[in-house]
Structure 1
Amino acid sequence: MAHLCEMQTQAAVKADASKKHPANKQDPKASLDSMLGDLEQDLQDLGVATVSKGHCASCRKPIAGKVIHALGQVWHPEHFVCTHCKEEIGPKPFFERSGLAYCPKDYHDLFSPRCAYCAAPILDKVLTAMNQTWHPEHFFCFHCGEVFGAEGFHEKDKKPYCRKDFLAMFSPKCGGCNRPVLENYLSAMDTVWHPECFVCGDCFSSFSSGSFFELDGRPYCELHYHQRRGTLCHGCGQPITGRCISAMGHKFHPEHFVCAFCLTQLSKGIFREQDDKTYCQPCFTKLFPL
């Protein structure tokens, strides 16, 4: 009973003091800490033993109620907060960096690698390529948008491309079929060719001798080159590479420009024409008398 009277007396004194000296408005958390501290002191004054759970790593005051164990220290729950946003963490998950606690959102915003495509923090799997980090689903071909498979990617001007688009867009094109040249090729006429595409533009025969004739950007065998140029002999059908006689809209080797009847060479270029044939003067006179 003596103890009870003493508690009542002390309470009355404190109540009277509070009426005479109204307390200034305080922060709710600071007020709660003060009340807990006063309660612990009152209990000790009354001889009631209190077991301290340690001193809060933040406010350094004894912890009598709920306690948070984190970072190798103890905390009042309301004092264990995110280092960045100062929001209470309490018993919720958190991340530690350099001995400091962060809520998950701030930790990822501040320290997680960022995707080179969307710039958002990468929270789970991370893909590293081209000296940057990416969400795996955001590392795709710059042209077609397909995510890269086992064949990997090709880089051009700091952009990634799948093999198909890279070859289609940047590989040299064959002068014959205009498809990408990937492996074996021939170089001729200031471009590259698939070996099977470097053939005569008319007969499609390959140039086994290694020589060809160029006309309007295309390769030709000797026969079809002269045919296109109109330099085939009208007499023998073979190319004319030296001296040439032009007559009746055709070209002839000199030795093949002959009389159609006696086959004498019309060496001086003097001839008579009948039905698209050439004749020497004597044969013409005999065959076609006036």
Structure 2
Amino acid sequence: MAAVTPAQSSAARNRLPPMRLQSLNDQTESPLFQRRRNAQDKDDYPLFDISAIENGFDGTGMSLGNAVCRRCGDGFDMQEQIINSNGEVWHTHCFTCAQCFQPFPEGTFYEYEGRKYCEHDFRVLFAPSCGKCGEFISGRVIKAMNASWHPQCFLCQLCGICMADSGFVKNAGRALCRECNAKEKAKGTGKYVCHKCHDLIEINGLIKYRGEAYHPYHFNCHSCGVELNTEAREKDLELYCLRCHDKMGIPICGACRRPIEERVVHALGKTWHVEHFVCAKCEKPFLGTRHYEKKGLAYCEIHYHQLFGNICFVCNSIINGDVFSAFNKAWCVHHFACSICDRKMSQKTKFFEFDQKPVCKNCYDKFPGELKKRLKKAYEEQGKK
């Protein structure tokens, strides 16, 4: 065995043990960072992980003697665990959130303007909150109407459709989809909104197809393929130009002279739209009710009897039985009475005319003499005519 000299013994006692730097954990990226990186999440702010130092300072140009903590400025003990982040070293107890001074959960932090924050404090301080649900927004942010929104929360304020990818229109301080905006603009103008392009349709510039309004140039004739105009017609759920439509033997309305595409009324030797077959006097559609014909015209029951039949002067009803006629008027037999005392009269009762109304003899005799003379004179002059 070789002898140990005192000098060698002293050197052995002063020799420092090899420096051992422990890693913070077994992975260099936090689970949250890995999930976001794999999802290619495009946050508005950079996300960093905590990199543990697996090796010592050898080869880094940094020696233990000149390494100091980034926060407190103190050095490190030989056996102390340290943290290296972005080329800077920290005591483990110094590597904390700049706001709450707590360790970073799962080793994840956000860096902003040279300071590191835990996820919670970073969101509170810098992350936008949704204008609808009020929650913090991670990932894609919709900025509109002076606010930030989750894509799924940015909805049309009328119909509720999501507008994150389709765009929106600002209308009276509201975010609306294009269709709702067009409908709002059409209110009060008497104009329609095209069901296809959602633009306004000028007056007399539309066609109706399956109950909806359209610009005619969105369609072509089902038969000849020509681009349609406002004269297009619908038949069997297909659209045709006027020329092709007229070749199909479709009846023509006797009132508007336009083809009849739905229900047809046959009357007076012609065909009619249901809504165009009306009374010649009041112009109300018959809609399947009874009508009366006279000299090539159709009348409702009331106006037919008013013009050509008998309507009671008192009850204004049609007189179906016996009629009492006088002074170019007609009465039901039981409604013919003195217009002054209301006493019932018959055809045998003597009566006089006063203001085109019947007056019994008793009431007439009570008239002043001068009035009776004027009435008598009027009767005589009328008789001469």
Task: Settle same-fold status: TM greater than 0.5.
Answer: no
Q: TM-score, normalised by structure 1?
A: 0.39
Q: TM-score, normalised by structure 2?
A: 0.31
